[in-house]
Chain A
Amino acid sequence: MKTFNYHAPKDIKKASKLASTSSAFLAGGMTSIPSMKLGLATYKDIIDIKHIKKLSGIKVSGKSVTIGSTTKHAEVASSKDVQKVIPSLAKLAGGIGDAQVRNRGTVGGSIANNDPSACYPSACMALNAIIHTNNRKIEASKFFKGMFETALKKGELIEAVEFKIPEKSNYQKHPNPASRYAIVGVYIAKYKKEVNVAVTGAKSSVYIDKDLSKALSNSFSSKAIEGMELNSSEMNTDIHASGDFRASLVVTYTKKAVEAC
């Protein structure tokens, strides 16, 4: 690993001030440290944001759950509040990677990174999340731009993610057998007027499957999508799963998610 300057600011203002074009925020380090070790990324300044108290914690209001960006997956998974109002979100967090990853990885790091097979982006999309940064609020649908790409500007800091509490929701994933990321992850959320089916792992970035969402908005039952076949041409193909397999898994796990609601 190349040497760098390490900073551990105690508040958001200092962190923002330190940010530059050759800096990176360090949250759980689960992605950033391996990529620095492999020489895939080099930075002059590393700004460790874990010491900023304001960035961590879970707040529940009548309509939403707001999770601070450095809140760890294990904290979300074991939060009684989250388990009560959006149990599927706690389940998602509890199914990420392995215990070590869950004890360090954070929600902010996960969505800032926007790995095409990460779990959290699908929760953000399905749960109409709003991403709060140090200078604006971004709707999830405008946040995830493409593979490892987000609407974040250089040096922009995610402070929290606000998830809208649905009537019902569920998350199902077919884990990559090696890394346990999602080969396919399906997050469904039912609100009064709509059902969102967000899919991760299947394409270059998380997306809302319009056909599945529409079918379930019309009739919220697994029968409504029985036998549906998705176009696999844009689906990822790798050594673990072909596009055809992924296409089939999306429908399969959507059914499982509906049945589990």
Chain B
Amino acid sequence: MASLVGSRVERKEDKRLLTGKGRYTADINISNQTYAVFVRSPHARAKIKKIDISKALKAMGVVEILTGAEIATDKIGGLIAGWAIRSEDGSEMKVPANPPLAKDSVNFVGEPIAVVFAESLDEAKAAADLVNVDYKVLKGVINTAEAMKGETIHDGIEKNLCYDWLLGDRKAVEEAFAKADKIIKVDLINNRCIPNAMEPRACVVDYNTASEEITLYTTSQNPHLSRLIMSAFGGVAPENKLRVVAPDVGGGFGSKINVYNEEIVCSWASKKIERPIKWVAERTESFLTDTHGRDHVTHAELAVTNEGKFLAFKNETIANLGAYARVFGTVTPTYLFGPCATGVYIIPAAYTNVKAVYTNTAPVDAYRGAGRPEATYTIERLVEKAAMELGIDRTEIRMKNFPTEFPFKQTLVHTVDSGDYVAGLQKAKQMSDYAGFDARRKKSEANGKLRGIGVSSYFEACGIAPSAVVMSLGCGVGLWESSEVRFNPTGQVSVFTGAHSHGQGHDTTFAQIAADELGVGLEAVDVVHGDTDKGTFGMGTYGSRSLAVGGIAIVNACRKIVAKGKRVAAKMLEVSEDEIDFKDGEFIVSKSNKKKTIGEVAFACYLPGSRDSDFKSPLPEGEEPGLIESSFFDPANFSFPAGSHIAEVEIDPETGEVKVEKYTAVDDFGRIVNPLVVEGQVHGGIAQGIGQALHENTVYDETGQLITASYMDYTMPRADNFPDFNLGFTCTHATSNPLGVKGCGEAGAIASPPTIMNAVIDALGGQEITMPATAEKVWKACKVLKKKNAKAA
């Protein structure tokens, strides 16, 4: 039987999703449901003096209106920061309370204050307009770089500083800097992005008055984790009385990791009003209140020798957390950022210092890549600038500093188990015809255009797990993943996973893995996810962890099935276990060629007896009936995908438009389960990264109003913004899991922003501009360049 792992199996889920048969949260309706509309703060920062709901309560169709006062009375907990980070001085981070409905003060535009439940959506909206909130408007703190100088947003949190964190050795760095031939410096802004999942957030809550069980249908990347948080911290219901279902979910990109205000409020309220509740975000609500991504201001320096050897690296970053610290909000700019900031290089001394600040803007949390794009942007801008300043070819300087022996003990935290960075960059050079660039540049110049080339080599730590490691770094939970595999009596297999698919294609790739392990056809395997009532437990999908952690739990559960099957087959075939081989779904006695298929064995496990066999069970002594196994997998290490991307851009100096002409990506994701799915992930990631580099501009005005709160102003990249992506792969297996796989979901978004910006800056003759490189910025830089060139001539 040919192996399914490694083949381009078309996505099983696509037929359903592309023909409109997906079942999303907003598609779910429960009879007698009420409709929720939230009253939200129009101000970035204000004290709430009074909330008057009397008029609204009398409006047509209103069932109930609840505010922060009831939340407090019922002792419903607030939203949480999932990771505890310590400052350099040893003190604990400072986290403000974040009640699901703001009671005394509001801290960003869109923060919910009250909720109206009515018989229809129109009635709920009309009544929400009648809720009268009396505010004392205060001056907001908006700008990341200035946040520490602004008024104190949260009582007792001085300088709006959550923590002042250090990773690395300042002294060693200063010593190395003193010996350097040259110091390369960059000042960077990693622009805030709004994730913009295609499906807005939504929830539908069904409270069963008899069993007192709450069922929450919601747009989540991690239903089990949501249940845990809502139960343990929200106090909404005990875990056994709370079922969280995340059905089809239309994209998350990190923004659907958090348990949000609306889910907590609607779950709590459903029990209170004893009615089902439906809430669906409007697009503007998504813009305003989904967690945003990135938003760093960085000063970084690289100490180098004249020959281009890297000596030391320093990184001083201010990270904007927004108004509140959320689930991955505090770890994203620290442990997901700092350790990767030295990139794919041997840099003997390094440190990263991050000051995380609160501002009166939407909370910032993990966004595809979470910390690693920011890290890669920092080091790759520095490296490219170093090459330029030292007059060394940009690929040569990288090769000079790549480690060539693995495991590679990286300067700050990670021990990278496997990789071949030289092979990746060489392949990218060859695929992109790096050598032919000068000729292409001349051709562009002849047409009055500027052409630039940019390279970025990255590695990242993903497959977010080792529980022992992440918990030692401050994570509030263990990040293992689990699976249960049920081999049914009649031969089909149900694979339950704690990972969640919201675009990743698990229905297909996980089925490929299980089918291979069990030797059954792909069609016999169903992957079940997204429901706390189905399957064991799970931490969900983010940090490119589904395959490298969740997929391995499936492998291990399947192997337990095969192990039991072997014991049963041995009994059935009347041989000892070690005489049996398992191959392609058959248990074969090597000597006699007698065999039982796994289907026959499964059948026997459930029906252990027969009229003809005189009370003889096919099950060995002490073996339980049934064929169901589960596994919890907690890997020994992260997985470390890596690669090199090369882009070429062409700029029209008169209009400032940047066209991405060529994009080549060579990635090492270890063993690839399904190239089609992986290519899709890489395409999406690159598109998102190019979006950040060239298009996506999140603008708050000085009063904290989000100017880019609709698609009329927030630029989502579109297909015509991209060339065909030229993808290649190299392969070194991960050693931390039995499949040798590494994560692939975020790599594109990690590598592409610096690749593109390096190319743009190259085209602009080394002039630095900030992301996104929009037409006007580029046009201005072109004018400067023209003047400079005129002077030189």
What is the interface of chain A, defined by CB distance below 8 A to chain B? 1-3, 98, 174, 176-179, 181, 183, 239-242, 245, 248-249, 252-253
Contact = CB atoms under 8 A, between A and B. Distances in A.
A145 to B, nearest CB: 23
Given A178-B711, A179-B713, A240 B655 contact: no
A241 B775 contact: yes
29 contacts: A1-B122, A3-B122, A98-B718, A174-B657, A174-B775, A177-B695, A177-B715, A177-B774, A177-B775, A178-B708, A178-B711, A178-B712, A178-B713, A178-B714, A178-B715, A178-B716, A179-B712, A179-B713, A239-B699, A239-B713, A240-B713, A240-B775, A241-B776, A242-B776, A245-B656, A245-B775, A245-B779, A248-B654, A253-B655
5 nearest A-B pairs in the assembled complex, by CB-CB distance: A178-B715, A177-B715, A252-B654, A179-B712, A245-B776
A38 to B, nearest CB: 8
B790 to A, nearest CB: 14
Given A177-B715, A178-B711, A240-B713, 13 more contacts: A3-B122, A174-B775, A177-B775, A239-B699, A239-B708, A239-B713, A241-B776, A245-B776, A245-B779, A248-B779, A249-B655, A252-B654, A253-B655
Contacts of B775: 174, 177, 183, 240-241, 245
B457 to A, nearest CB: 29
Interface in B546-575: none
B contact patch SS: loop
A148 to B, nearest CB: 15
B707 interface: yes
A51 B760 CA distance: 50
A11 B712 CA distance: 35
Contacts of A2: 122
Contacts of A178: 708, 711-716
Given A239-B697, A248-B779, A174 B655 contact: yes
Which of the four size classes fits the interface of chain B?
20 to 34
A253 B707 CA distance: 28
Contacts of A253: 655
Interface string B761-778: 000000000000011100
A241 B780 CA distance: 11
Contacts of B718: 98
A164 B153 CA distance: 62
Contacts of B657: 174
Interface string B705-742: 00110011111101000000000000000000000000
Contacts of A98: 718
A183 B707 CA distance: 17
A2 B713 CA distance: 25
A240 B712 contact: no
A245 B776 CA distance: 7
Contacts of A252: 654-655
A240 B695 contact: no
Contact of B774 (A240, A248, A249): A240
A181 B776 CA distance: 16
Contacts of B655: 174, 249, 252-253
B14 to A, nearest CB: 21
A160 B715 CA distance: 34
A95 to B, nearest CB: 11
